[in-house]
Chain A
Amino acid sequence: MAEIRTVRVMESLLKANDYVAQRLRQAWDQGQTFVVNLISAPGAGKTTLLEATLPVLLSRYRVGVLEGDIETERDAERIRALGVEAVQVTTGGTCHLEAPMVEQAWRLMDNEIDFLFIENVGNLVCPASFDLGEHLRVVLLSVPEGDDKPAKYPKAFRTAQALVITKADLLETMDFSVERARREALEIQPELQVFVVSAKTGVGIPAWTQFLEQRRRQTFPDA
């Protein structure tokens, strides 16, 4: 006799990812490694922002980078050129990083570090759904992309704690209103900290790196 049975589950479809993310967060809390997840569209300047950020932090902190891309080691090579350990994760087609990929890469790295930057796959949609166990999620919006991006990709802005508007050196030549982008982003996430930077001229980089240091101190008060 066949019988039909209904099982009430009510579990998140991201449960498996979130479980690993939680395990990573515990490991990072224990080792006092402050972890930043960088999310943006392709070409918004994640690697370039890191190239401007890491030299400032390197004098006082041990830093590592995990590079997520669909293919190639190119971004990791740019980071290694600064003398920073970088592990490249190539997802082979997957459009975002998931916590198990990060855990696997973390096992290959020097774990005695103060900051770990995770550069997600360039994509403003899918990475927003996957917790990697990070302490800080940062969304980048570059000036050439346009100031109307936040409402088009709300989840990326909703789940971030900081917004970095990059390529500010192009503000003079592009039709981009910082105020409009800021206002639209804050309507989606009122808690967002907003920075306007140019890795090329160095504008805004000090405020951004001070924010990172301050967030790390808040997360690990006895570090």
Chain B
Amino acid sequence: MHELSIMQALVDAVEAIVREHGARRVVRLVVEVGEMSNVIPMYLRNAFLAFREVKPFLAQAELEIRFVPLQLRCESCGFEFQPQGYRYRCVECGATQVRVVQGEELLLRDVELEVESDDPSWPVELPSHGAPRFCE
């Protein structure tokens, strides 16, 4: 269950963005999870909920997970298709030289922040209550 370590990396990246923009809190996160990214959206969401309890800047944040199906393009005949059973072979001409168009990504796409533009008390030190334990 590596989703927790991936979520740890996501939270670190988001925390840096929060500080950079002097934001008050995160409203929404949008991530893209490819079919071939080896990440199960449900587990990613569970990991997010665990972090949300210990990271105040995420307390009211929503996580949107966009699932991206695997799509391949045949290098020989140019046909684009979504493979069945992870067969990296053109369903049209049978060639095995295929390129991944999408479906391997694991991306932090957007971060929506609430920014208090005229609040002099920001940025403040963000309290941290540690991270959840891994893989238990």
Contact = CB atoms under 8 A, between A and B. Distances in A.
B107 A125 contact: no
B114 A128 contact: no
A11 to B, nearest CB: 5
Contact of A12 (B17, B23, B106): B106
A93 B136 contact: yes
Interface stretch (B4-12, B50-58, B123-131): B4-12
A157 B21 CA distance: 41
Given A13-B6, A14-B6, A93-B134, A7 B88 contact: no
B85 interface: yes
Interface in A144-202: 151, 154-155, 158, 186-190
A155 B88 contact: no
Interface of A: 1-17, 92-96, 98, 125-126, 128-130, 151, 154-155, 158, 186-190
A125 B38 contact: yes
A1 B2 CA distance: 40
Contacts of B134: 92-94
A16 B9 contact: yes
Given A95-B2, A128-B38, A151-B85, A4 B110 contact: no
A125 B3 CA distance: 11
Contacts of B12: 16
B9 A4 contact: no
Given A2-B114, A94-B134, A188 B108 contact: no
Nearest to A70: B135
Contacts, number: 117
B109 A154 contact: no
Contacts of B39: 129
Contact of A93 (B6, B13, B133): B133
B37 interface: yes
Contacts of A92: 134
Interface string B98-133: 000000011111111111111000000000000001
Which among A4, A13, A187, A190 has the greatest number of chain B C-beta atoms within 10 A?
A: A13
A155 B103 CA distance: 12
Interface size band for B: 35 or more
B10 A188 contact: no
Contacts of A155: 36, 38
Contacts of A17: 9
A190 B88 contact: yes
Given A14-B6, A94-B135, A9 B108 contact: yes
B42 to A, nearest CB: 15
Given A4-B27, A10-B107, A93-B133, A129 B38 contact: yes
Contacts of A96: 2
A130 B38 CA distance: 11
A158 B35 CA distance: 13
A4 B1 contact: no
A12 B107 contact: yes
Given A9-B108, A10-B109, 9 more contacts: A1-B116, A3-B115, A6-B111, A6-B112, A13-B10, A13-B107, A128-B38, A129-B39, A190-B97
Contacts of A16: 9, 12-13
Given A95-B1, A125-B38, A7 B106 contact: no
B88 A9 contact: no
